[in-house]
Amino acid sequence: MKALLIVDVQNDFLPGGALAVADGDQIVPVINALQEHFNLILATQDWHPADHGSFAANHPGKRVGEFIDLNGVEQILWPVHCVQGSEGAEFHADLNKDNWAAVFQKGTQQNVDSYSGFFDNNRQGDTGLSAFLKGKDVDEIYVCGLATDYCVKFTVLDGLTEGFTTYLIADATKAVNLQEDDYDRALSEMAGNGAHIISSKSIIM
């Protein structure tokens, strides 16, 4: 059984959002086309409390892009984004949500960030995604969404660790690119850990 995993296609990660990924909206039609080819579709949603420890605004004197120690885990500081219940946390209006089996929310604990759709960055918290997939006899996951170099990458790496054959649909992702080659580096790291890097064209024919 295969599943499509749509990572964090939320307003704050799209042009005009608080943590906008350049051209992030361009993947929406690609993801909608991909959805036609899957019987099991799941989404993740970055879903932070307003006092979340990853927000620079919650650390007086610190700026976006600086690193801090957040409960023993190195944490880069982000602008306020994807606050629970806010418009920025909503999925892109044009993203087809009609056939989603479930949404897994992450980053909900104040004191730890969660890039992966599976586990918090300290690997203590578990969103339930892995158990859900195993309960549906899923052995192959196809990952798309935002952002290639953060939540998509860590979701792919955890998917591999959890034993799933994992495909990264590269053209159905976009990167933050804090460094200009972060997209390429993320792809290399995923491939080096056993992910299959594919194009949406190999699915949409």
Residues noted as catalytic: 8, 106, 151
- Minimum distance from CB of 48 to Zn ion (Å)? 6
Q: Does 150 bind ligand VGL (CB under 6 A)?
A: yes
Select from 29-37, 38-46, 63-71, 154-162 the region that touches Zn ion (CB under 5 A). 38-46
DSSP assignments along 75-124, one per residue: EE-B-S--BTTSGGGSBPTTS--TTEEEEEEE--STT----SSSB-TTS-
Choose which of 31, 147, 157, 195 interacts with ligand VGL (CB under 6 A).
147
Compute how many other C-beta atoms are within 10 angstroms of the C-beta atom of residue 123.
Answer: 14
By a kind-dependent CB cut-off of 5 to 8 A, residue 12 interacts, out of ligand VGL, Zn ion, none, with none
Q: How far apart are CA 196 and CA 192, in angstroms?
A: 9
**CA distance to 31, 97, 132, 134, per residue, from 36 (Å):** 9, 12, 21, 22
The verdict on 47 binding ligand VGL (CB under 6 A) reads no
What tokens were used for 27? 């993947």
Among 46, 120, 149, 158, binds Zn ion (CB under 5 A): 46
Shortest distance (Å) from residue 86 CB to ligand VGL? 14
**Interface with ligand VGL includes 151 (CB under 6 A)?**
yes
Using CB under 5 A, list all residues that contact Zn ion: 46, 107
Using CB under 6 A, list all residues that contact ligand VGL: 8, 13, 19, 46, 78, 146-147, 150-151
